[in-house]
Chain A
Amino acid sequence: MSTIDTRSPILSARGVRHSFGQTEALRGIDLDVHPGEVLAVMGPSGSGKSTLLHCLAGVLVPTRGSVTYGPSAGRQPVEISALSEPKRARLRLTDFGFVFQFGQLLPELSAVDNVSIPMLLGGTKRSEARRRSADMLDRLGLEGLGAKLPGELSGGQAQRVAVARALVTSPAVLFADEPTGSLDSLGSENVLTIMLELVREFGTTVVMITHDARTAAYADREVIVRDGVIGAGYRVSP
C-alpha cells in the first residue's frame, strides 16, 4: 500500500485545457499517473472525464497545456500533445490499450480475429497473432469461444474479448472508459477482477473512467473531476 509515489510518472498532464467550440471541457488539469498504478477518474456527467482520458491518451490534443508520456527506462519521455496525428496513432497502437463501454468489437469478426487486429496492425504474422489471441482469450476465461461472433456472446463475454484485445499487445497504459458501464453488477465484478488481475501481472498502468464507486474501489487511487478541474483533493485508496 503506497501513500505518495515518488517514481517518475508514466503520464503527466500540466495545465491541460480543452475546449469544444465555446464550451471549455477542461480548465487546467495537473495530473501524474505512475507506472503500474490503477487510477480511477470519477465525476458527474459532463464534468470532462472522457475529455481528460482522450487528452492523456493522445486522442485529443489539449487546447493549452501539455501531456508527457514517460515510458520505462531506456526511452525518452515524449510530449504526446506535440506529436502529429499519425505519430500519436502509432503510439496508441503500440503503447496503449483501450476498453470502452460498448460497441467496440467488429461485428463480422470472430472473437479471436477481433483480438488479433492490433497485432496484425503492428506487423505480427496472422498465425502467431491468432495463437496469442487464443491464449489471451483463455486467460480471460473464454476458452472455446474464439470462433464466436460478438453478436453470439453475452455482454460480459464481449467485454472480456475487448479487454483481451486491449491487453494482447502488452500495452504500457490501459485506458478504460466505463468498461463495465453496460454490465450488471456480477458481470461487472467478473470483468474487473480478471482485468485487474492481468494488468497487475503485466505491470500495466490503468486509467479508468467510472461513475460507479464500487468500480472505483478496485483502483489504487481515484481522482474526481468536476467542471473541468480535478476536485480539491484526491486520495490514495487504502
Chain B
Amino acid sequence: MNRGLLKLAVVGSRSSYGRLTGITGGVAVGVCLLLLLWGGANGLNARDDRGAWLRETGSPSVSIPTTAGDPTASGPATPVPLTAATVLMRANPVEVFRDQLINRRDFAALGSTTVKIPGIASPPAPGEYYASPALQHLIETTPQDQLGDRFGQFVGTIGEAALPGPDSLIVVTGATETELRQSGHAFLVSAFTTNPYGASAAAYSTVLLIGAIAVFFPVLLLISIVTGLGAAQRRERFATLRLIGASPRTISRIAAVETAVPSLIGAVFGVVLAAVLRPATAQITVNGTRMFEADLATGWEAATAVVVLVVTASSLVAAYRTSREGIGPLGVTRAMQERTPNAWRMVPLLAGLAAMITAVLLIRVLEVRVPWLESPLLIGGFALTLVGIVVVGPWLTQLVSRMGLRQARSAAAVIAASRIQRTPVATFRSVSGLVIAVFVVSVFAGASSIIQEAEAPAARPGLLQPASLHATVAAGSSQDQVAEAARRAGQLPGIRSATIGYGPAALNQRDAGPEIFLRAEDAPGLGFEDIPETEIVAVDSSFLHYWTTQPLVLTRAPAQNLDGLVPVVIVVAADGTPEAMDRARTALDGSGVTAIPATSPLDIKLQSSARLVQGLAVLAYLGMFVAIAIAGLSLAVATASAVLDRKRVLGLMRLMGMPVSVLRRIITREAAVPLLTVLLLSIALGFLVAWLMVTGINDTYRVTWPATDYFAALGLSLVLALAAVGSTFSLIRAGTAITATRFE
C-alpha cells in the first residue's frame, strides 16, 4: 500500500488528531491497568509463595504406638528425638496485638542443625527472637509490657525472602526443647513447604481467577470502546477514499493501520505509565500488608505480550468492522441496521448460572467432590454470567425503550428512546462497563458480607466474656508458677480478675477431663451469676470455646477441694481496653506457663478460618475501585463518541433552534435508560453469584446484607456515571456548534 496514501489517511485531517489522541490515551490507560493488575496478581502469588513456610506443620514430635489387633487402642506417647536434620517448631494459632495477627513461630534446635529457617541465618537461642522489620518497629514504638515482653531478646530481622510483604508481622522465637514439647503443639520440621495454600489451593486459585476475570473485563471493554472512537467520522473519510479509487481491501488495511498506530503509541505509553505508577501501587494494603515493588513487576516479556496483543487485536477488529460496514464510493452502501435483539440473548446468562448451580449442587447437595470439574464449572460459570449480562443487556434495554417511546412526551425523550430502540447494542455498550462494575462490586460485596457475621458474641452470663483472655497451662507447670502468673496478671491496670481453672491433667493431654474446676468465689469474675453455694464448682470445658453459644451452668464439684488437680487454664477478665488486653496477653505469654498464647473471643474476627475471605474482601474493594473507575472512563468515551458520530445531525438540530439543554437531556437519557434497566439485574445477579461462589469454595458461610461500603460504591458508580456524561457536555456544545456543522 502506498505509504503517502496511508499517512494521509491516518493523520490527513486536523479533526483526526482528537480521535487519534483519544484512542492513544484510552489504550494507554487500559494497558497500564492491565499491567498493574497482572503485576498485582503475580505479586499476590509471589507474596503467598514467600509466606508458604509459615504454613508448615511438620511431622509429629511424638510417636504413639497402636496396639496390635486393635487400631483404635494406643500405647503411651514417646518423643521422637530432635536431630541435626530437624528443628522443633510450634506454630501458634493466634498471637494478637490490638486487632492485628502476628505470625509467631517458636523453634528449638540442636547447635548442629542443618535445617535452614527461611529469612534467618540460624535458629534463635532460647529467650531470643528474630522479627520482621514491621513487627520490630511496632515493638519499639509500643510499651514493652504490652508487646515486647512476649518475645525475649531481639537478635535480628527476618530477611525479605521470608516475608510476604513489608508490613508482615512475623516473629521467630527461640525456646527450649522441653518448653515446646510440654506445649503439646510442637512438630518436627526437616524442610519448609513451598506450597502456600495446601488443600485450599484450588479454592484460592478459583477466587483469584474469578477476581481477575472480573477486573480484566472492564479493561478490555475500555480498550474496545476507545478504538471504536469516531467510527462515523472515519466512515465518511473511507467513503471519500473509495470514491477516488481505493479498493475495499485497501480501506480495511488503512483502518487496521490507523488503529494500530495510536494503539501502539498508547500501549507503549501504558507500559511506561505502569512502570511509573508501580511504586505508588505497591503502597496499597492488601490483606494487612503492602507489596514489595519488585513483586508488581511483570517483566518485559509480559509487557511485550500485552502490547502485541492489544495492537494486533485492535487492528484486526478495526479491519473486520470496516469490511463488514460495506463502505462504497457513495458512503455506507449497506444500512448497518442492528439485528433486533431477542430472548435468545438470555442463553449465555442462564448457562453461566446453570454451571455455577451445578457446581454447588455437586458439592453441597450430592456431596460429590470432583475437583477437576468444580473449578471449571465455577470459573466458567462466572465468566459466562459476566458475558451473559453484556449479551442480555441490549435486549432488556430495547424492551424498556420500547415502553419508554410509547410514553415519551418531550423531544429529548422521543429522540433518546428512538435511538435506543434502533441501536440497543451500541447504546448498551456505552454503559456496559458500569453495569459490569456494579455486578462485580455486588459479587465482592456479597462475598465479603460473610465477614460481617463473624462478630464476637455479646456478653452473656454462662459464656466466656468477650473482654476476657484465657491461656491454657502447659503440662508440667507448677502450682506456684501458675499462681504467680495469675497474681501478676490480676494486678495489671485494667484487669478485673484472674482466675485459675483446674483439671485432672493439662487440657492438651489425654487425661484431661470434660470439666474445669474452680473456686466458687472466683466464678463471678468469669461472668457467672447463678453460683452454687459451695467451695468448688465445675463447668463443662466447652466454656473455653468461643463457638459455644448456649450458656453453661455451674455445678457443685464432686470433691470440695482441689487436691489431685492441676492448673489447666488462666482466665483474665479485662475492662476491654486494647491496652489492658495486650498487657494481659504479654504478661500471660511471658510467664512461661502457657501452652499457647492467650486468646480472646474478640480474636474471632482475626481467626485464620476467615483469612481467605478477608483477603477476598480487601481485593474486592480494590476491584470495586478499578472496575468503577474504568467503567466511568468508558462511559465518558462512549458518550463522547456518540456525540461525535452524530455531530452533523445534532449540529443541524441546534441550527434549527434546538436548545443545547435538549441535547444534554438526550445524551443523559441515552446513558441512563440502559444503565438503570440492567443495574437491578446486575445487583441481584451479583449477590446470587456471590452466594454460589462462597458456597462453592466449601465453606459454611452465609451471605447477608452488605456493608455500607457497598452502598457507597453503588452511589459512587452513579455519581461517576453522571460525571462521565456531564464531562461530555462541553463537547456537546463545541462539537455541535454551527461553525462545526458548516464544515462537516
Task: Mark out the residues of chain A between 6 and 21 whose CB falls within 8 Å of any chain B CB in the assembled complex.
Answer: 20
- Quick check: is B410 within 8 A (CB to CB) of the other chain? yes
- Quick check: is A235 within 8 A (CB to CB) of the other chain? no
* Residues A107 and B649 in contact, CB atoms below 8 Å apart: yes
Instruction: Please tell me the size bucket of the interface on A.
Output: 20 to 34
* Residues B409 and A117 in contact, CB atoms below 8 Å apart: no
Stretch touching chain B among A26-34, A87-95, A194-202, A205-213: A87-95
- Given A86-B659, A108-B423, A126-B408, answer yes or no on A103-B648 (Cβ-Cβ < 8 Å): yes
- Quick check: is B655 within 8 A (CB to CB) of the other chain? yes
In the bound complex, residues from chain A placing their C-beta under 8 Å from that of B422 are: 107-108, 149
- Quick check: is A110 within 8 A (CB to CB) of the other chain? yes
Could you mark each residue 89-106 of chain A with 1 if its beta carbon is under 8 Å from any beta carbon of chain B, else 0?
111111011101001111
* Residues B658 and A89 in contact, CB atoms below 8 Å apart: yes
Task: Mark out the residues of chain B between 331 and 371 whose CB falls within 8 Å of any chain A CB in the assembled complex.
Answer: 335, 337
CA A60 to CA B739, docked complex, whole Å: 9
- Quick check: is B586 within 8 A (CB to CB) of the other chain? no
Q: Chain B's nearest CB lies how many Å from the CB of A219?
A: 22
Stretch touching chain A among B29-37, B412-420, B457-465, B545-553: B412-420
In the bound complex, residues from chain A placing their C-beta under 8 Å from that of B655 are: 59, 92, 98
* Residues B649 and A96 in contact, CB atoms below 8 Å apart: no
Contact of B414 among A50, A120, A149 (CB under 8 A): A120
Q: Chain B's nearest CB lies how many Å from the CB of A116?
A: 7
Task: Mark out the residues of chain B between 656 and 679 whose CB falls within 8 Å of any chain A CB in the assembled complex.
Answer: 656-659, 662
* Residues A113 and B414 in contact, CB atoms below 8 Å apart: yes
* Residues A93 and B657 in contact, CB atoms below 8 Å apart: yes
In the bound complex, residues from chain B placing their C-beta under 8 Å from that of A117 are: 411, 414-415, 653, 658
* Residues A110 and B652 in contact, CB atoms below 8 Å apart: no
In the bound complex, residues from chain B placing their C-beta under 8 Å from that of A96 are: 656-657
* Residues B652 and A104 in contact, CB atoms below 8 Å apart: yes
- Given A118-B656, A121-B658, A151-B335, answer yes or no on A108-B419 (Cβ-Cβ < 8 Å): yes
In the bound complex, residues from chain B placing their C-beta under 8 Å from that of A113 are: 414, 418
* Residues A50 and B649 in contact, CB atoms below 8 Å apart: no
- Quick check: is A109 within 8 A (CB to CB) of the other chain? yes
In the bound complex, residues from chain B placing their C-beta under 8 Å from that of A149 are: 422
In the bound complex, residues from chain A placing their C-beta under 8 Å from that of B410 are: 120
In the bound complex, residues from chain A placing their C-beta under 8 Å from that of B415 are: 106, 108-109, 117
CA A59 to CA B737, docked complex, whole Å: 10
CA A122 to CA B419, docked complex, whole Å: 21
Q: Chain A's nearest CB lies how many Å from the CB of B414?
A: 6
Could you mark each residue 401-442 of chain B with 1 if its beta carbon is under 8 Å from any beta carbon of chain A, else 0?
000000011110011001101110000000000000000000
- Quick check: is B510 within 8 A (CB to CB) of the other chain? no
Task: Mark out the residues of chain B between 234 and 278 whose CB falls within 8 Å of any chain A CB in the assembled complex.
Answer: none
- Quick check: is A125 within 8 A (CB to CB) of the other chain? yes
- Given A108-B422, A121-B658, A125-B409, answer yes or no on A116-B652 (Cβ-Cβ < 8 Å): no
Q: Chain A's nearest CB lies how many Å from the CB of B692?
A: 39
**Most chain A beta-carbon neighbours within 10 Å: one of B409, B414, B652, B657:** B657
- Name 11 A/B residue pairs within 8 A (Cβ), A-sorted: A50-B742, A59-B655, A60-B738, A89-B654, A92-B657, A98-B656, A104-B649, A107-B422, A108-B419, A108-B421, A126-B409
Q: Residues on B close to A: CB < 8 A? A: 335, 337, 408-411, 414-415, 418-419, 421-423, 648-649, 652-659, 662, 738-739, 742
Q: 11 more A-B contacts (CB under 8 A) besides A96-B656, A103-B649, A151-B337?
A: A90-B657, A93-B656, A93-B657, A103-B648, A103-B652, A106-B415, A113-B418, A121-B411, A121-B658, A126-B414, A149-B422
Q: Residues on A close to B: CB < 8 A? A: 20, 50, 54, 59-60, 86, 89-94, 96-98, 100, 103-110, 113, 116-118, 120-121, 125-126, 149, 151
